Amino acid sequence: SSNSSSLLLRPGMVLLRGYLSLSDQKKIVERCRELGVGVGGFYQPGYGEGVEMHLKMMCLGKNWDPHTSQYGEQRPFDGAKPPLIPPEFHTLVSNALRDSNALFPHDPLPSISPDICIVNFYSQTGRLGLHQDKDESKDSLRRGLPVVSFSIGYSAQFLYGDHRDPDKAQKLQLESGDVLIFGGPSRNVFHGVTAIDTTTAPNLLQHINLRPGRLNLTFRQY
Ligand code: AKG
């Protein structure tokens, strides 16, 4: 359901504004809640990571460890195996990439079979420092396989650019239902979340049954 406000932000970086329907968002919230309270569910990454992480995290498919920046099949701190990526998430990701390529045929991005999804939950004070997603395989990075990111709940002030310096970054408000894709020449873009906007859409959270905060899912192919 991508609409006319979808944007090619820069080569290889697409914003599908309002792509996820409310009903899709609600289902994603519900599924993440179920998975989040089970084995391998949400935890709070400690401080002293490479990147400032003020959020709760869970991995699906593979584990990504913020301490070592390594992928693995289990979480080092409790041995849990991450839950599988639900099949309906796979469908949403491949549809989003297909629709993005149809909107911007001059900048096609390769499709992916995501084997890792990082689910972040930002409370009202949540944030995430500027970083690159560069821990996937050399092959995945070399091919520019896109990262596909779903935003649900409160809006986020999102920064992106070619440098780690926030003053040099572009600003973007990511809203509930937005899908952001970055691959190809934008695969190594620096990005992060400076603040959560708690003033957005007061009825939205009730509709999608999310506690106050923001849920973000990023899908990648290791
Ligand atoms: C990441 O998980 O690597 C992110 O950068 C998440 C960004 C976001 O929450 O929009």
What is the predicted pLDDT for the residue at 50? Answer: 72
| Predicted confidence band of residue 4 (pLDDT cuts 50, 70, 90) | low
Task: Classify residue 14 as left (phi > 0), alpha (psi -120 to 50) or beta.
Answer: beta
| Ligand 1 center–CA 218 separation, angstroms | 7
Long-range contacts of 23-27 (CB under 8 A, 24+ apart): 24/92, 24/177, 25/152, 25/176, 25/177, 25/208, 26/207, 26/208, 26/209, 27/88
How far is it, in rounded angstroms, from Cα 69 to Cα 34?
26
Ligand 1 pocket residue status of 218, Cβ below 6 Å: yes
| Predicted confidence band of residue 46 (pLDDT cuts 50, 70, 90) | confident
The pLDDT tens digits for 53-108 are: 899 999 999 999 999 999 999 999 999 999 999 999 999 999 999 999 999 999 89
Q: What is the pTM assigned to this prediction? A: 0.96
Query: What is the complex's ipTM, to 2 decimals?
Result: 0.91
What is the predicted pLDDT for the residue at 107? Answer: 87
Closest ligand 1 atom to the C-alpha of 118? 2
